[in-house]
Structure 1
């Protein structure tokens, strides 16, 4: 514990010895110092500093040179640059002072490794001064008696040190005080100089690193004088309209210096100065007359002077003064042009004459009026027409022809030379060729190729093309020997101009050649708005309107159409700028497309709004290509069906008497095989029921038809039973070919039944058997169930019996067996039954089955009698067969023969 306090006390004592006061009250001497003290060093040179420790500090503080640490601006210098000279001296060396900064300090580590600062110095690094260069002096005249001399020089490079300059001068052997610059270090003014005496002038530069002097300048101050400019300048008009007289005062005595002058002038508003030839003003003077000026023109003048022999400096330009020349008659006639409107009824011209006001240098005064003379070339004897106007245009009505127009401008001095314009009946002379334009230097240049003939002059006509205003014509004349010029009007960028060049000859003019031009182009103000004109399955016809001239801002070089689907890539198509319609092809059907359009000038393009459309699902003609063949096929099928039915109907159109009997009767038909031999055929008869006869049916007789009607409605579209044909199931009109000219009857009133005639075996007589034929009338339940009869037997018979019992059919000898069942039994009889009786019996039973108990016409009465006789058991003899069989023509027309397959089944 005690040793620790001793160490703290020892360190504190050491610190107090270094930094505190002595007992005597004076500053304690430092424990060391650095040599040299605050040095100024040349940039890039070598430098070595020494830190010397005091002997008084060595024993007490145990301080030695080996413990010294060098620092530059708190940065430790590498120990490689240290050198211990002895126990009290340490040095540090810098090979290049460019890296040396301030301060440079010497530090030491005392007991306890506490760093203490021993000493520090400020190091200044710089360059010695260079030799001043380009020393020059000028004597400025301040007044008639005061002439201070100001000298300037180039001080050279920057030294980074305080460098002082002095201007030294002397006359002969007499020295004068140095001139020390005040504000800047490269200029100094000597207040008094002596003319006509040579003096020596030089500059000295000095800083901590050295001195330098400029080359001496030896001169006479009178040779470097810059005099004051003349003053009190005045300008007066002379006798002639082209002369102005100037006068002024000089501010330097002629005894001291003789002067020469420069006079410059310009037209008011112009920036270009003109100068009087120097040789005309090379002698001392105080006035001068300027000639060759324009009449009635305002000029601005200024003047300066210098020593007559040209040694020294020109004075500044004097203040500016203006003067106006007097008027003179106009130097030329006004440029004239015309616009002709042709009227066809009556044939005449409306000529708009126009001319330009003369420029001031051409008018030479104030133009009071214009005199216009119009002379018809076709009638030289008639007096010319004269007009006096104070405007620059005149409109005349005149017949078609050739005219000479002259215009004269007049001021108070006189009239101008006449301007002549020939108005020919037609532009029959050679025109210019290859009219072209070129923007250049902010102006629009127009060039052309001259015709082979001699041209008196050219007229360049132009106007601004705009949708918002009419094309107001501007024009200018050019000599006949030029082939290009700049337009002199106010030509604006992004605007379209129509430029026309006319060649004028002494005896006529050529037709104008035109070209459109822009001073400067830009992108269009907007893009085209595209729409669809027609949309198909794989193509779309797009249409748009051209941009207006005000929207184009340049020449439209091309259009580009961009189109895409919602999830597809965008496709671009380039279109000629003259087009307003384009067809997109190879599109996907039933697809939404987005399309936009861009218009391009030489400076870029701009896009119009997006437009959407959807392609069609089917292309043109595809629906027709599908529907028409289907319809045609359907119609063809229907037609073939109808033709097939009619063809079948025609093949069986030969009417056969339902009571036809063979003259030869054959017996022994005991077997079924004999009844249905091979090669048998069928004849079909149709019994027609007149529509009017339906009314005589009793309610009881109509019940079977009501039942059939009900069944038909539930089975529409299906086959109508045995032998049924779909072609006859729909209602259609049937035409009866009776001799009495019976009208068309609906087939719904026709019931068709068949007479089946079986060929006999060898010499046997064929037997006629009735079977079911095709009919448009609804079938009876017994007929509808015929298939069941053949297939099932007893069930079908039971249903038929129930049907006849329900409907109360009279005249049936056996109600349990319908006509078709009994037909089969009769045809299978061997002996004792005549064929005619069987036929009549079956026919009568079928007729009663169909309810044919109505009133009959003359044709049906015979059949009814025969049926009645058969029911009474009478036999139809051969005499009836042979003598009473009706012919085909005598048979009722309601019987239509049809061929029926054996068994009553028609092929389907």
Structure 2
């Protein structure tokens, strides 16, 4: 492409009888474009025209030789011109071995278009045999399959792709592989999943490989995810021939999806597809730990009305999920069955107890059992309101809350807040416990936007309460 083109056209006089003056006038057309040649008399009663096109910038063209006949150009000869470049170098050669028929399917990217008919052929060679054509691509596709008879399994081979046209030959980079290194295996089959050992956060899985993969040294990966998890957890480096693996730190009483894949224990091997998913729900474990609780009381008609609220325990690997909560009078430690005054799956409860009741017991439970009870001492409400309660923004989802120190020793503070549009006098939508009794400031972080809790710049009403043995003080704002 871009080179000069020369051509000549020869006309014999005796074949041009009928011309008015007997003198043939030769002209040229490049496709439909008139071109001027140089005409001269040749030997043996001929007329010759020679043409030179300085630069041909099209990949295909037809050059016509014409003779003027009665004022019109008669086309008497044609040459088809093909122009282009040497073939571009093929690239990104990769191959994959099918363990069904042991054919090696290779794919590549074609080089730059040379605008000329190009013959593309994959080649292969071993250390013991010369290069041969591996296969023939069909219909211009950039892939084909080298048959098993041309391969040496478990031995290194060289593969490359050649592209040839009228102007030259280009070769891809050579791929040096053992065909078995690029075998794509069948996915394993997950057979069983169990919580083992019992009452731990560990799960044991067993699997099998297809017979045609079972003799290979394999490396596998296991992935798992609960429906609410944003991404998969992955366990790597599993020996494929082991057939069993144990992994821990699963949540109790939770549905998980498990999948597995394997490849030959070599860096260049292809992973199998992920296995068919298998679901498993881990066993339940009784909840553990104490519950943070806050309450308010009011005496009416000889009974004490209690509003009790608590924080749901944080879900961790070592803690079972919670199905419900129980508030009871009396503890099992005293040998008597406690009297249940509230049973709920919420995190608050209103109930009445005898006026002299000094404490209740709060516990969480699920199908596997009940947590140890949290003792809640129902103290008498006394003391003076705290002064100087104020809040300062500390970012998009946080507030610094300040107050003046209490006039008496303090065990802990509880901060409550809710939207100002809520009913006055019931400031209990959200709360948190500040266990440092000497502080006069605390940060509400990441809770203002929680369900049921307002986000800035919504106004808040709040209550700071100071606690110490036998005495509480409350301040509403």
Q: Structure 2-normalised TM-score? A: 0.74
Which string of whole-angstrom CA distances, capped at 9 and with x for unpartnered residues, describes residues 865-892 of structure 1? xxxxxxxxxxxxxxxxxxxxxxxxxxxx
Residue 251 to residue 350, structure 1, CA distance change in 2 (3 Å): same
Unpaired runs of 5+ in structure 2?
A: 331-337, 436-441
**Contact kept in structure 2, 1:336 and 1:421, CA below 8 Å:** no
Hey, what does 2:362 align to over in structure 1? 407
Hey, what does 1:37 align to over in structure 2? none
Asked if 1:308 is matched to 2:269, the reply is no
Among residues 246, 252, 256, which one is paired with 1:289 in the alignment? 246
Hey, what does 1:209 align to over in structure 2? 167
CA distance in 2, matches of 1:497, 1:91: 92
**Contact kept in structure 2, 1:163 and 1:206, CA below 8 Å:** yes
Residue 209 to residue 512, structure 1, CA distance change in 2 (3 Å): farther
Residue 458 to residue 170, structure 1, CA distance change in 2 (3 Å): farther
**Contact kept in structure 2, 1:155 and 1:185, CA below 8 Å:** no
Among residues 354, 361, 367, which one is paired with 2:323 in the alignment? 367
Asked if 1:237 is matched to 2:189, the reply is no
SS in 2 for 1:222: helix
Asked if 1:151 is matched to 2:106, the reply is yes
Deviates more, 1:410-419 or 1:238-247: 410-419
State the shift of 1:124 in Å: 2.9
1:222-301 pair list within 5 angstroms: 222-238=180-196, 239-251=198-210, 256-276=215-235, 278=236, 281-282=238-239, 284-301=241-258
SS in 2 for 1:126: coil
Among residues 400, 403, 427, which one is paired with 1:448 in the alignment? 400
CA distance in 2, matches of 1:484, 1:50: 90
Higher relative contact order (CA 8 A, sep 6+): 2
Residue 406 to residue 491, structure 1, CA distance change in 2 (3 Å): closer
Which string of whole-angstrom CA distances, capped at 9 and with x for unpartnered residues, describes residues 159-208 of structure 1? 23332211121331266553112255332222313322232222111234
State the shift of 1:286 in Å: 0.2
CA distance in 2, matches of 1:152, 1:270: 37
More helix by share: 1
**Contact kept in structure 2, 1:63 and 1:110, CA below 8 Å:** no
Among residues 147, 166, 169, which one is paired with 1:191 in the alignment? 147
Hey, what does 2:335 align to over in structure 1? none
- Bigger radius of gyration among the two: 1
1:391-540 pair list within 5 angstroms: 392=346, 393-395=348-350, 407-411=362-366, 412-416=368-372, 418=374, 425=382, 427-428=385-386, 431=389, 433-435=391-393, 438=396, 445-448=397-400, 461-463=417-419, 465=421, 474-475=429-430, 477=432, 484-485=445-446, 487=448, 489=450, 497-499=458-460, 507=468
Among residues 340, 344, 354, which one is paired with 1:390 in the alignment? 344
1:32-51 pair list within 5 angstroms: 43-51=1-9
Residue 450 to residue 139, structure 1, CA distance change in 2 (3 Å): farther
Among residues 162, 166, 182, which one is paired with 2:138 in the alignment? 182
CA distance in 1, matches of 2:385, 2:360: 17
CA distance in 1, matches of 2:78, 2:321: 89
1:585-624 pair list within 5 angstroms: none
**Contact kept in structure 2, 1:464 and 1:472, CA below 8 Å:** no
State the shift of 1:359 in Å: 7.0
SS in 2 for 1:242: coil
CA distance in 1, matches of 2:58, 2:314: 74
State the shift of 1:456 in Å: 6.2
Among residues 100, 108, 119, which one is paired with 2:77 in the alignment? 119
State the shift of 1:313 in Å: 3.0
Residue 257 to residue 504, structure 1, CA distance change in 2 (3 Å): farther
**Contact kept in structure 2, 1:433 and 1:449, CA below 8 Å:** yes
The two structures, once aligned, show a CA RMSD in angstroms of 4.6
SS in 2 for 1:97: coil
CA distance in 1, matches of 2:211, 2:5: 61
CA distance in 2, matches of 1:492, 1:76: 85
CA distance in 1, matches of 2:418, 2:234: 38
Among residues 4, 10, 32, which one is paired with 1:52 in the alignment? 10
CA distance in 1, matches of 2:329, 2:89: 83
Asked if 1:160 is matched to 2:115, the reply is yes
1:705-716 pair list within 5 angstroms: none
State the shift of 1:285 in Å: 0.5
Which string of whole-angstrom CA distances, capped at 9 and with x for unpartnered residues, describes residues 421-460 of structure 1? 988545527756313552xxxxxx2332677989968757
Residue 273 to residue 74, structure 1, CA distance change in 2 (3 Å): same
**Contact kept in structure 2, 1:329 and 1:414, CA below 8 Å:** yes
1:456-855 pair list within 5 angstroms: 461-463=417-419, 465=421, 474-475=429-430, 477=432, 484-485=445-446, 487=448, 489=450, 497-499=458-460, 507=468
Hey, what does 1:96 align to over in structure 2? 55
Which string of whole-angstrom CA distances, capped at 9 and with x for unpartnered residues, describes residues 582-628 of structure 1? xxxxxxxxxxxxxxxxxxxxxxxxxxxxxxxxxxxxxxxxxxxxxxx
Q: Structure 1-normalised TM-score? A: 0.42
State the shift of 1:272 in Å: 1.7
CA distance in 1, matches of 2:404, 2:111: 70
Residue 391 to residue 327, structure 1, CA distance change in 2 (3 Å): closer
Aligned length: 440
CA distance in 2, matches of 1:103, 1:488: 76
Deviates more, 1:415-424 or 1:227-236: 415-424
Residue 50 to residue 487, structure 1, CA distance change in 2 (3 Å): farther
Hey, what does 1:327 align to over in structure 2? 284
Residue 70 to residue 89, structure 1, CA distance change in 2 (3 Å): same
**Contact kept in structure 2, 1:167 and 1:201, CA below 8 Å:** yes
State the shift of 1:247 in Å: 0.6
State the shift of 1:129 in Å: 0.9
CA distance in 2, matches of 1:491, 1:371: 23
Residue 509 to residue 150, structure 1, CA distance change in 2 (3 Å): farther
State the shift of 1:45 in Å: 1.9
State the shift of 1:263 in Å: 1.8
CA distance in 2, matches of 1:96, 1:493: 77
SS in 2 for 1:389: strand
Deviates more, 1:211-220 or 1:490-499: 490-499
SS in 2 for 1:223: helix
Which string of whole-angstrom CA distances, capped at 9 and with x for unpartnered residues, describes residues 773-808 of structure 1? xxxxxxxxxxxxxxxxxxxxxxxxxxxxxxxxxxxx
State the shift of 1:265 in Å: 1.6
**Contact kept in structure 2, 1:164 and 1:185, CA below 8 Å:** no
Residue 51 to residue 275, structure 1, CA distance change in 2 (3 Å): same
Residue 223 to residue 493, structure 1, CA distance change in 2 (3 Å): same
State the shift of 1:242 in Å: 1.4
Which string of whole-angstrom CA distances, capped at 9 and with x for unpartnered residues, describes residues 372-407 of structure 1? 569xxxxxxxxx99723235333357999xx97763
Asked if 1:130 is matched to 2:88, the reply is yes
